[in-house]
Amino acid sequence: MALVPCQVLRVAILLSYCSILCNYKAIEMPSHQTYGGSWKFLTFIDLVIQAVFFGICVLTDLSSLLTRGSGNQEQERQLKKLISLRDWMLAVLAFPVGVFVVAVFWIIYAYDREMIYPKLLDNFIPGWLNHGMHTTVLPFILIEMRTSHHQYPSRSSGLTAICTFSVGYILWVCWVHHVTGMWVYPFLEHIGPGARIIFFGSTTILMNFLYLLGEVLNNYIWDTHRRPSSWQINFMYVGPSS
């Protein structure tokens, strides 16, 4: 019975991300017309990650309902692959990148909003859309983690994946600066090369920490180191048996 509310919730979250992406792309901002477009901003990349992740969650729920009781082993194998992809995306991308965007944005915003979100943007981006991009991401991903158990990959492969993503994005930001002569984020203009290296290194370390935090939180919520209690067995979604 718990699966039905989770399905509805995931569909609602997916639709909200689709709405946020459509409204954001409809905004005619000068930065959208420059090299890299919206893809040079981690916030936009994170929105795409979250939308794809919840799209996979919805697809997994639909596949589970369609294959339940069918006895088709091939369909069950495909469902297991889909569940594995869903779990991998949450562990490596959706949780660490989502929490990073929310935490770093609001910390820098509280210190000096002009360094990351100049007041000029208020003329283009309404408040509700700003919160949709930088606030609700966190409760949405925590709700998903709380309502379904996710199997994390091995720690070495997970950390390698998040490091690859972090370094890849840093190189992309540097390439945009190389081509345009301008940094994607205003605060990078005000610090020296050494400080930028320290900042980029710190962000990579923070991404790794957030990956580990997600793993610990997942274990804590679902108590994977001990036998699940009866309420967890009744509540969490369990994939098809082998």
> Within a domain: residue 40?
yes
Residue 138 lies in a domain: yes
pTM (two decimals):
0.86
**In a domain? residue 18:** yes
Answer whether residue 185 is part of any domain. yes
Dig out the tokens for 67 from the structure: 């294959």
Q: What is the DSSP string of 155-218?
A: HHHHHHHHHHHHHHHHHHHHHHHHHHSS-SSGGGGGS-HHHHHHHHHHHHHHHHHHHHHHHHHH
pLDDT(25) > 60: yes
- Residue 37 falls inside a structural domain: yes
At 239, is the pLDDT very low, low, confident or very high (cuts 50, 70, 90)? very low
187: in domain: yes
94 is a domain residue: yes
Total number of domains constituting the chain: 1
pLDDT per residue over 29-62, tens digit each? Answer: 877 788 888 899 999 999 999 999 999 999 999 9
- Look up the domain containing 163 and give its range: 3-235
Minimal CA–CA distance to 151: which of 237, 233, 51? Answer: 237
DSSP tag of 228: P
Question: Does residue 241 form part of some domain?
Answer: no
Which of helix, strand or coil describes residue 239?
Answer: coil
